[in-house]
């Protein structure tokens, strides 16, 4: 899976921690075919929703560790083929901050397990809406860890977004505490990945970051497989392969989307996931969002869209500082 080199990670509202497009090398991407790019973005997030559905189906019979293991194994295979057979050794080269690359890969493993855990315990629409809070965490982490200034507009949007979380969670006892915790944790971890990408995006290639993210995750999960792993049936193996295929197609479509469409506009299509999650949940599991889910999701989406557009505006004006690239290899 290759990642777009033309997107700001702060604009990534995706539920999948592996979807982390890199900062743009130019102020604006090619806009020769915006409709084509928007269609690709819509298709990419449909694939991401399908991957979430497959994860929910698989976690009914398999542990989240096992599902995450197969997800990483299938995802890393194309990189291994490229490195060994096509001698793409540059994929292995970390130009700076190897410690941050390793830490980010470990956090991504936690993120994907929390994400799959949330989908296993909550209806698709509920989990998807809560994971959208990732966009709200990004400026908070940027404020505390990168020294970025967060003005009153974005702080207000962040607070309003978390009011939506409270509405969804129903703090009256009528909620799945573990599922909500997993979803919020996944969102926080995903935002941490984006924050780390601000440090790495100026020096590392997308293929390198993705390869180590998948490979390190695979190494971390492998020791647990003798205790939690089972031999998948033929039907389940098809689902596992479909899980990996959806991720690959999703990334190809994302690369197309960010090539032909402005990053902020392409990122906004991530919110179509709530539509697909609602339809999949209703058609397959008979789940239809209650009024509190609809209200809370609407608040989170509106607040997140505001944060995304605000950060895009500040980036264009040069008022969203980025950490400088290191002059020598660090760590």
Q: Which two tokens stand for residue 26?
A: 């130019």
Question: Residue 194 falls within a domain, yes or no?
Answer: yes
Q: What is the mean pLDDT of the chain?
A: 81
Question: Residue 22 falls within a domain, yes or no?
Answer: no
Domain that holds residue 83: 9-14+31-316
**How far is the C-alpha of 19 from the C-alpha of 195, rounded, in Å?**
13
Neighbours of 236 (CB within 10 A): 16
Residue 113 clears pLDDT 90, i.e. is over it? yes
Where does the pLDDT of residue 320 fall: very low under 50, low under 70, confident under 90, or very high at 90 and above? low
- What is the pTM for the complete model shown? 0.78
When pLDDT is averaged across residues 119-135 and rounded to a whole number, the result is: 89
Question: Residue 4 falls within a domain, yes or no?
Answer: no
Question: Residue 322 falls within a domain, yes or no?
Answer: no
The total number of structural domains in the chain stands at: 1
Question: Residue 235 falls within a domain, yes or no?
Answer: yes
Please state, in angstroms and as integers, the Cα–Cα distance from residue 171 to each residue in 137, 143, 230, 300, following that order. Answer: 21, 28, 37, 17
Question: Residue 195 falls within a domain, yes or no?
Answer: yes
Question: Residue 23 falls within a domain, yes or no?
Answer: no
Residue 329 clears pLDDT 50, i.e. is over it? no
56-68 pLDDT tens trace: 999 999 999 999 9
Question: Residue 54 falls within a domain, yes or no?
Answer: yes
Residue scoring higher pLDDT (265 or 295): 295
Does residue 194 sit in helix, strand or coil?
A: helix
Q: Are 199 and 104 in contact (CB under 8 A)?
A: no
Does residue 172 sit in helix, strand or coil?
A: coil
Angle at 17 between CA 15 and CA 18, to 5 degrees: 120
């Amino acid at each position: 899976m290759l990642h777009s080199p033309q997107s700001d990670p702060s604009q990534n509202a995706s539920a999948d921690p592996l979807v982390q497009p890199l900062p743009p090398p130019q102020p604006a991407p090619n806009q020769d075919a915006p409709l084509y790019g928007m269609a690709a973005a819509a298709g990419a997030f449909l694939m991401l929703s399908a991957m979430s559905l497959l994860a929910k189906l698989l976690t009914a019979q398999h542990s989240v560790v096992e599902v995450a293991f197969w997800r990483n194994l299938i995802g890393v295979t194309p990189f291994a083929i490229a490195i060994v057979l096509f001698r793409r050794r540059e994929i292995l080269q970390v130009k700076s901050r190897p410690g941050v690359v390793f830490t980010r890969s470990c956090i991504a493993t936690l993120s994907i397990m929390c994400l799959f855990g949330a989908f296993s315990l909550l209806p698709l629409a509920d989990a998807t809406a809560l994971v959208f809070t990732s966009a709200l965490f990004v400026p908070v982490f940027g404020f505390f860890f990168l020294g970025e200034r967060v003005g009153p507009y974005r702080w207000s949007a962040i607070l309003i977004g978390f009011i939506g979380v409270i509405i969804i969670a129903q703090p009256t006892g009528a909620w799945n505490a573990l599922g909500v915790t997993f979803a919020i944790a996944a969102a926080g971890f995903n935002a941490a990945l984006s924050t780390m990408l601000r440090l790495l995006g100026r020096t590392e290639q997308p293929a390198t970051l993705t390869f180590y993210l998948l490979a390190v995750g695979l190494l971390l999960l492998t020791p647990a497989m003798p205790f939690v792993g089972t031999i998948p049936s033929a039907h389940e193996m098809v689902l596992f392969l479909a899980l990996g295929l959806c991720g690959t197609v999703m990334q190809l479509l994302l690369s197309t989307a960010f090539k032909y469409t402005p990053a902020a506009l392409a990122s906004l299509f991530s919110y179509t996931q709530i539509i697909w999650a609602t339809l999949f949940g209703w058609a397959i599991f008979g789940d239809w969002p209650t009024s509190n889910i609809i209200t809370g999701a609407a608040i989170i989406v509106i607040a997140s869209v505001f944060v995304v557009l605000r950060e895009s505006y500040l980036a264009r004006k040069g008022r969203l500082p980025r950490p400088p690239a290191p002059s020598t290899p660090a760590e």
